[in-house]
Amino acid sequence: MSRYPQRIRIVEVGPRDGLQNEAVQLPTALKIELIDRLSAAGLGTIEIGSFVSPKWVPQMADTAEVLNGIAHRPGVSYPVLVPNLKGMESAVAAGVDEVAVFASASKSFSQRNINCTIAESLRRFEPIMALSRSHGIRVRGYVSCALGCPYEGPVAHEKVAEVAASLADMGCYEVSLADTIGVGTPLAAASMLEAVLRQVPVDRLALHFHDTYGQALANTLACLELGVSVLDAAVGGLGGCPYAAGATGNVATEDLLYMLHGLGCETGVDLDRVVDAACFVSDALGLAPASHLARLRR
């Protein structure tokens, strides 16, 4: 019997976490085509955008148009990120069925990113959670800087666990632990996860690894052994972190799938179609493919 989970759910974050950090602003029609390609490949959760101020994130200004234009496949969830109550109100008006919120495990990152303390950021979610309950909208949480901060360096595992537990307690059905700047290594990733597991059950956790130092797949493998079965990834390895110089994109969905299928894990995702989508979005952005599998297709 394999020591890894038999079934893995991939949360595709490329259309949001990936595209929001790209210099080129992808036209709405191409975003819609990308998302439709990803849903046709079998991905069941695709984060399509965010309701944030277009002044700060112009790449996400057309999220409502994207949501209205995609082919909504039965059984597929299309969450959006909301940073505050105003964003949540926009999400409700757009008719979403799932949103995501984020809090940092680093006080310096929280202060510089959203201009408040960790505790203040969590309190801001209270009206979001109330609105989500009244409209039957599911909420997913992110803990950023789970393995390191660009300002503070290493982040205490206990602080990551504390923030993750707070998000779970306030009603997030799932909490994704994010190595926002991609500095983690397998031992650190597993140790952080073990600390979180003491406060949050494994079936309510996900992992979100960036690949700045090429460790994302190794970190994933180390954590799979602890039972996590939900993994975030971005098609083509899109993304980065605007607050961390040199930070690169998320682990590429296609590279992650190749590893998971090699481990005998079921994903329900068509790898070839995801590689095609990676080549499509790379061409649309005028970039060379960032993932190993997409480069092989060239």
- In one-letter notation, the amino acid at residue 180 is T
131 within 8 A of 89, measured Cβ to Cβ: yes
Domain boundaries, the chain: 9-297
The answer to whether residues 233 and 9 touch, using CB atoms and an 8 Å cutoff, is no
Catalytic pick among 145, 223, 241, 279: 241
Domain covering 9-297: architecture: Alpha-Beta Barrel (3.20)
Q: pLDDT by residue (tens digit) across 152-180?
A: 999 999 999 999 999 999 999 999 999 99
Q: What is the pLDDT of residues 19-32, one digit of tens each?
A: 998 888 999 999 99
Sheet order of strands, 98-104 included = 45-46, 9-12, 230-233, 205-209, 174-179, 138-144, 98-104, 80-81, 49-50
Name the strand (E) or helix (H) holding 9.
strand 9-12
H/E element, 231 = strand 230-233
Q: What is the pLDDT of residue 115?
A: 76
CB 179 within 8 A of CB 209: yes
Q: Is 223 a catalytic residue?
A: no
Averages of pLDDT over runs of 10 residues in the chain (298 residues) are 88 96 92 98 98 92 98 97 96 97 92 83 95 98 96 95 98 97 96 98 98 96 98 92 66 98 98 98 92 90
pLDDT of residue 233: 98
Q: Do 254 and 271 form a contact (C-beta atoms < 8 A)?
A: yes
